[in-house]
Amino acid sequence: MSATLSPTMGATPTKRVMSVKARWGRIGVYGFLTITALFFLLPLYVMLVTSFKELEEIRLSSIFALPQNFTLDAWKVAWSSACTGLDCSGLQVGFWNSVRILIPSVVISVLFGAINGYALSFWKIKGANLLFACFCLGHSSLSGVYLPVDSRLRRYRNLWNAYGCCGFTRYLRHAIMTLLFRNYYSTLPMELFNAARIDGAGFFKVFFTIMLPMSVPIIIVAVIMQVTNIWNDFLIGLVFAGNDNLPMTVQLNNIVNTTTGERAYNVNMAATILTSLVPLIIYVASGRWFVRGIASGAVKG
C-alpha cells in the first residue's frame, strides 16, 4: 500500500524576504538611535578624557584628544583633597553625608508611598480619581513654597541636620510615590484582598504578607526614581542639611566655584563624574528591572 504525500510535506521552508522599504526603515531607525546615543555620550567622553589629563595637556590639546600621559591624580585630588571653600577634604565628606540623607529618605518615602497607594487603590467612591489628582497636584506644588517657610523656622537650629533633610525630602517625594503605587495596586485583582480578609487578615497583614511581596517590580522603579532624585538634589540639601551635613552635590558646586589661581578642569571633571557615579551604577545594574516595573504598572487588568 503506497502512502500519498501532501504537497507541503518535505518541502524546504522558505525564508521570509524583507522588503526594500522595511530594510531601509530599519537602517534609518538604527542610524537615528546610534546618532542619539553618540550625542548624549559625547559630554561623558569629554569629561572622562579631561579628568585623565594633566593641566598642561588640557591647555595645549583638543578636548576630544585622548590623554597622552594617563594619570589618576585629578581623581585622587577630587576625592580627598579638593577645596570646598575653607575646607580641603574633597568629596569624601559629602559622599557620606549624601548616604546618610539618601538611605532613610528612600526607605521612608517608598514605604509610606506604598501604604498610601495601597489604601487609596480601594477608594472607589464617585469622583475618586479627580480628588486623587487634586491631592497629588497640591502635594507636589509644596516643593515650590518651602523657602519662605525656611525663613520662619531658621531659629530652630536643631532641625537643620541630615535627618531634618531626610524628613523634608521624604515629604516632598510623597505624592509621586503614592501615585506610582496606587496605579500599580489598582491593576491587582480584588479577589486577593477579599480572600485574605475572609481568612481573618487585617489591613496591614494583607499589605505586608500579600501586597508587598507582589510589588517587587514597582518597588525597584520607586527606588531608582528616589535614588536619582534625592542624590542629585541640590537646593534641599543646601537649605535644610546644615553646614556640617552638606551633600555631595553641594560639595561639587563648592569645588567648581572655589578657584585659587589656575582653574583645575581635570579635578572638576573628575569630581562631577564621582558625584554622578551612584545613579549611573544603579541605572546600569537595574535598567531591565526599571523597564519591567514600568510596563507592569502600565497594564490595566
56-96 pLDDT tens trace: 888 887 888 888 888 888 899 889 888 877 777 888 888 88
What separation, in Å, do the N-terminal and C-terminal C-alpha atoms of the chain show?
56
The beta-carbon contacts of 147-154 under 8 Å, at least 24 apart in sequence, are: 147/239, 150/239, 150/240
Q: Which of 87, 83, 98 is CA-nearest to residue 248?
A: 98
What is the band of 1 on the pLDDT scale with cuts at 50, 70, 90? very low
User: What is the CATH superfamily name and number for domain 93-299?
Assistant: MetI-like (1.10.3720.10)
pLDDT digits (tens, 9 = 90+) for 65-75: 888 888 888 89
Cβ contact 273:84 at 8 Å: no
CA distances for 71 relative to 76, 89, 267, angstroms? 10, 20, 12
CA distances for 228 relative to 221, 225, 279, angstroms? 11, 5, 5
Average pLDDT, the chain: 77
Cβ contact 76:51 at 8 Å: no
Distance CA 201, CA 59 (A): 69
Sequence spans of domains, the chain: 22-70, 93-299
- pLDDT score for 125: 66
What is the band of 168 on the pLDDT scale with cuts at 50, 70, 90? low
pLDDT digits (tens, 9 = 90+) for 27-63: 888 999 999 999 988 988 999 998 898 888 888 878 8
Q: What angle do CA 20, 21, 26 make, to 5 degrees?
A: 100
- Residue found under cell 585659587: 260
Q: Which of 105, 111, 145 is CA-nearest to residue 230?
A: 105
- pLDDT score for 33: 92
What percentage of the chain reaches a pLDDT higher than 70? 74
- pLDDT score for 4: 52
Is the pLDDT at 159 greater than 70, yes or no? no
Is the pLDDT at 207 greater than 90, yes or no? no
Distance CA 163, CA 251 (A): 18
> Which of 11-20, 221-230, 254-263 shows the lowest mean pLDDT across its residues?
11-20
- pLDDT score for 251: 87
Report the 3 state secondary structure along the chain.
CCCCCCCCCCCCCCCCCCCHHHHHHHHHHHHHHHHHHHHHHHHHHHHHHHHCCCHHHHHHCCCCCCCCCCCCHHHHHHHHCCCECCECCCCHHHHHHHHHHHHHHHHHHHHHHHHHHHHHCCCCCCCHHHHHHHHHHHHHHHHHCHHHHHHHHCCCHHHCCHHHHHHHHHHHCHHHHHHHHHHHHCCCCHHHHHHHHHCCCCHHHHHHHHHCHHHHHHHHHHHHHHHHHHHHCCHHHHHHCCHHHCCHHHHHHHHHHCCCCCCCHHHHHHHHHHHHHHHHHHHHHHHHHHHHHHHHHHCCC
- pLDDT score for 299: 43
Confidence (pTM): 0.74
Average pLDDT of 238-265? 79
- pLDDT score for 169: 52
pLDDT digits (tens, 9 = 90+) for 121-153: 876 667 767 776 776 676 665 555 655 555 555
- pLDDT score for 36: 93
- pLDDT score for 131: 72
- pLDDT score for 133: 73
Choose between 295 and 202: higher pLDDT.
Answer: 202
What percentage of the chain reaches a pLDDT higher than 90? 5
Spell out the residues 6+ positions from residue 20 whose beta carbon is closer than 8 angstroms to its own: none
pLDDT digits (tens, 9 = 90+) for 252-280: 888 888 766 678 888 889 999 999 888 88
- pLDDT score for 20: 74
Spell out the residues 6+ positions from residue 189 whose beta carbon is closer than 8 angstroms to its own: 301
